[in-house]
Amino acid sequence: LWITETSKGFARKSLYSKRPDKSLSEELANCLDNAKNIIACKSGGVARYYPFSLISWPTDKIQLQRRNLYANGCLDYQYTPLRYMAVYAQAIRVLSGRSYIGEIPAGGSFGKLKVFADKLTAVIVISSATTEQQVSYQLDKSIDGIIVEGVDGRILAANNNLIPVVDGQSYVTLPL
């Protein structure tokens, strides 16, 4: 099964604005929705997942004006990557080559953690119900060699068994 042409669109203030006409929280919610869709598809056995369009669509200026400057895509009209592209690429990079193992109940605003693994490492996807603030997930014990990355690929520092969940989702890579 392939899932194609799925994502939320965004409005632009003008034809030439690079940023979507959204507050940062709305833009982040759009990015996080895409990341959660990728996680759900990968864990559900979907073979391929594609966002609506990699380039801003429609690309014709007249069509854009007729559509009230509404567009969809991972790149702006000058083909500059938007944050949406970073989130999409990060999910692909982290989950590529890994199989879905299962879920770990986490409780609170975290719900269930999704676990993916290959022969050498496991990735735990920690999603929070909130994107408005940074929250932390408490590990039961200290684990050496973990790598924590944000939804868009930023490296995050774990301190005292606390995993930061910035922007609503973090990827934790553990050695097996």
Give pLDDT tens digits for 6-63.
666 655 554 455 555 555 566 677 778 888 888 998 999 988 887 766 666 555 555 5
Q: What is the pLDDT of residue 15?
A: 47
How does residue 5 score in pLDDT terms, banded at 50, 70 and 90? low
Do residues 77 and 16 touch, judged by C-beta distance below 8 A?
yes
Q: How far apart are CA 132 and CA 49, in angstroms?
A: 27
Residue in the block written with tokens 């929250």: 135
Of 141 and 93, more confident: 93
Q: What is the pLDDT of residue 91?
A: 92
Q: What is the pLDDT of residue 56?
A: 60
Residues 6+ apart with CB under 8 A from 170: 125, 126, 137, 148, 149, 150, 151, 156, 163, 164
21-25, 85-89, 100-104, 167-171, range with greatest mean pLDDT = 100-104
pLDDT at 172 over 90: yes
Pick from 146, 157, 106, 149: nearest CA to 128: 106
Angle (nearest 5°) at CA 15 between 38 and 90: 20
Q: Most distant CA pair in the chain: distance in Å?
A: 58
Q: What is the pLDDT of residue 93?
A: 95
pLDDT digits (tens, 9 = 90+) for 116-167: 999 999 999 999 877 666 788 888 887 888 999 999 999 999 887 889 998 8
State CA 10 to chain mean position distance: 16
Q: What is the pLDDT of residue 68?
A: 46
Q: How far apart are CA 21 and CA 153, in angstroms?
A: 23
Q: What is the pLDDT of residue 34?
A: 82
Rg of the chain on CA atoms, in Å: 17
Q: What is the pLDDT of residue 83?
A: 81
